[in-house]
Structure 1
């Protein structure tokens, strides 16, 4: 099987004459962490919405494991193993951490909407749910109500529920948004840890995160690919520095 898990060819999305994503060619290598970065309004989230079929492309092709998935619906994409976490923490606040992860496992089993099933029928999922909580460093909080968690822990829980769906490709949308420095570091470490044997495509603003964990970076500007490569190379690209900083002096330090 090819080592490219996800590929887009000339992917384009227009909204009433405005081109949000313009002829984007993207290749995500299996087993890598690939970051999509760019100034605000660069088209990153639109790109994610196209990949997960929340938006239909105006033109272009999306291939997953060599299959053309351009015309598929969001549920079909999820069944293929492309699972996305959202910018806003998407967990149930009044369930425990264990119950949240168990719902993700239920979905993978195809019994996701059997909320009326007795507690007893869900017990077999508990051991795996606890394993996943341990994987994201939350094992000790399994029986805590999610509403009581600090923000960084909620994002870690969201990664656990995403992992529960056994994704072949994880799409992480701004995983460190709104976090303090300590939480950013913890979540970056977590993403690095759970990436073993998995493929991750992430939209991320925080350059310290991208520079630490991403294998490949694609920079978007005005919906088009401006540059692509490892951080060391991309961060020295004069066009990238100008897009971010309005200057070509010095290194790329952060995103506005």
Structure 2
């Protein structure tokens, strides 16, 4: 198990936090008393075996699920009982495991669609198509930032799987998130795409917090500043990758018992 943990110095501010986060479905507690702090300009990984509760935590933080107990705070505001659309407008934006791009639109138009809401164009359907031209510069900037400038006129359906996921990151960045949640961004990717997306996430985190669920431990070791390990809905360990990867409980529960 290779260890290449990201080193940190001064601790940045907390932008998203949870205290006592709990979700019960009938008699089953999917998440139990989870405390979480996500910091600005840092990549925070949420890892654990299948069924550990990672996606449930994501759904609770983004308000797709309402917690049975506990509190959630975003940028100094309690959002425990806030609707998911309002939470997104406050700056908490997530991606999903399944690519969510519009396959029959060009790459540029996918980003222009995403830019409509923050530019107050999403509901002004009576305006001519030319009204979207003012979004072109920002759309081009986002495509350049994720390495898709050369594919601006390509129909999204014709992109490779990895580049579709990169386009999805561009569309989430169009919403100008303060906290970006990525659900298994490397799933199904080849090694070349993994390297590209890792670099993009590292750059994205220079200006915002990133919380990601990820099973690729090499990626976690390479780009994540902090790691929280879940098991059966509870926090098993947390710290930098070098620390958690050597924890005997983590090695037994998730990473195996082989020598690093």
TM-score by length of 1: 0.94
- Of 47, 56, 60, the residue aligned with 1:50 is 60
Question: How far apart are 1:246 and its partner, in Å?
Answer: 4.4
Q: Distance in 1 between matches of 2:94 and 2:152?
A: 23
Work out whether 1:250 is the aligned partner of 2:222.
no
Q: RMSD of the TM alignment (CA)?
A: 1.2
* 1:78-98 C-alpha deviation (Å, 9 max, x unpaired): 111001111111100000011
* 1:193-221 C-alpha deviation (Å, 9 max, x unpaired): 22211110111110011000000000000
* 1:135-184 C-alpha deviation (Å, 9 max, x unpaired): 00000110110000000100110000000000000000100111112211
Q: Distance in 2 between matches of 1:207 and 1:116?
A: 48
Q: Counterpart in 1 of 2:161?
A: 151
Q: How does 1:228-243 map to 2 (within 5 A)?
A: 228-243=238-253
* 1:20-48 C-alpha deviation (Å, 9 max, x unpaired): 11100001111111010000000000000
**Which stretch has the larger CA shift, 107-116 or 20-29?**
107-116
Uncovered stretches (5+) of structure 1, i.e. residues with no partner: 252-256
- Of 140, 157, 165, the residue aligned with 1:130 is 140
Q: Looking at both structures, which has the greater relative contact order when contacts are Cα pairs under 8 Å and sequence separation is at least 6?
A: 2
Count the aligned residue pairs: 249
Uncovered stretches (5+) of structure 2, i.e. residues with no partner: 1-11
Change (3 A) 1:246 1:232: closer
Q: Distance in 2 between matches of 1:231 and 1:115?
A: 48
Q: Distance in 2 between matches of 1:158 and 1:245?
A: 29
Question: How far apart are 1:115 and its partner, in Å?
Answer: 5.1
